[in-house]
Amino acid sequence: MPPETLDFEEPIAVVLKEIEALNQLPATDARDREIESLQRRLVSVRSDLYKSLTPWQRVLVARHPNRPGLEDFIQRLFPGFVEIHGDRRYADDHALMTGFADFKGQPVLILGHVKGSDTKEKIFRNFGYARPEGYRKAMRAMRLAEKFSRPVVVFVDTPAAYPGIESEERGVAAAIAVNLRDMMVLDTPVIVIVSGEGGSGGALGIAVGDRVLMQEHAIYSVIPPEGCAAILSRSSATRKDATPSRRSSGTSAMRDRRVTARRCASCSWRRSSRVRLWCSSTRPRPTRAWNPKSVGSPKPSPGTCAR
């Protein structure tokens, strides 16, 4: 069965169906050559299509059902993952996952949003909408990482914080505000990666870091397009028209200095050496016990700001 595609990916879907049809035939040299030819054509078609995405199509790609999530990154990059549960105040929020793991032999703390893959898991994960207890759990885990001098790696992929009444009653705004304040002064390296959809304060509540990286086809904005349309026109039906004004692409984020670097789909990390975000103070800070070469971050000099 070919992977799920979006409406504007119809040219890709046609090639995928042809490949699937050929895979059902008996194996022959001619069939294998035809499949290789179609696979090269698929790469070319996908490359041409993604070079000219509209702002709304970029949002759809960031929400693509086949887009890798936090659990995929953990499985492929971070062995030995041990999850941490609960905020020690109210409950365990399943929309935010955190725990300790290894990255190339370096112990790290992993933190990020989880949207879920099927209907049952999406309901269990609340579609990636984190509640107040999720942000408090994240802060508890980051303080633990600071205590043991372990770097924090954050994956952001959420439309927003959960806007329900019970979320407001439990202080979601205060929980996000506390995270913004405390992440600025954490005495351990924090690397933030916007891997999918970075929407509103729900994303920013765990996105303050020494380096803020962003995938090329991810989005990062102050409000989801549906919320922007609801404010401007009282209807979410105009969300396509409201998308361009939010300047949510990786290119816009680099230009506006909201991220440190963006990941191009066809090359390595593109860095901007002149961008350093959220410098919390200029006071001397102790040297961090980790290997900066693993993420390309320079070691702070004594008597200078570590961020």
Which is higher by pLDDT, 35 or 299? Answer: 35
Which is higher by pLDDT, 252 or 55? Answer: 55
Topology of domain 65-294 in CATH is 2-enoyl-CoA Hydratase; Chain A, domain 1 (3.90.226)
pLDDT exceeds cutoff 60 at 213: yes
**C-alpha span between 102 and 106 (Å, rounded):** 5
- What percent of the chain shows pLDDT beyond 70? 75
pLDDT exceeds cutoff 80 at 146: yes
**C-alpha span between 262 and 245 (Å, rounded):** 20
**121-138 per-position pLDDT tens digit:** 999 999 999 999 999 999
If you average pLDDT over residues 197-225, what whole number do you get? 87
Lowest mean pLDDT among 19-23, 101-105, 107-111: 19-23
Q: Name the pLDDT band for 262 (thresholds 50, 70, 90).
A: low
What's residue 101's pLDDT? 95
pLDDT exceeds cutoff 80 at 106: yes
CB environment 185-209: b (16+ within 10 A), e (fewer): ebebbbbbbbbbbbbbbbbbbbbbb
What's residue 305's pLDDT? 47
Q: Name the pLDDT band for 293 (thresholds 50, 70, 90).
A: very low
Q: Name the pLDDT band for 247 (thresholds 50, 70, 90).
A: low
pLDDT exceeds cutoff 70 at 190: yes
Q: Name the pLDDT band for 274 (thresholds 50, 70, 90).
A: very low
Q: Name the pLDDT band for 260 (thresholds 50, 70, 90).
A: low
Lowest mean pLDDT among 11-25, 88-102, 287-301: 287-301
**C-alpha span between 104 and 110 (Å, rounded):** 14
pLDDT exceeds cutoff 90 at 286: no
**45-87 per-position pLDDT tens digit:** 988 888 888 888 888 888 888 889 999 999 999 999 999 999 9
If you average pLDDT over residues 276-291, what whole number do you get? 38
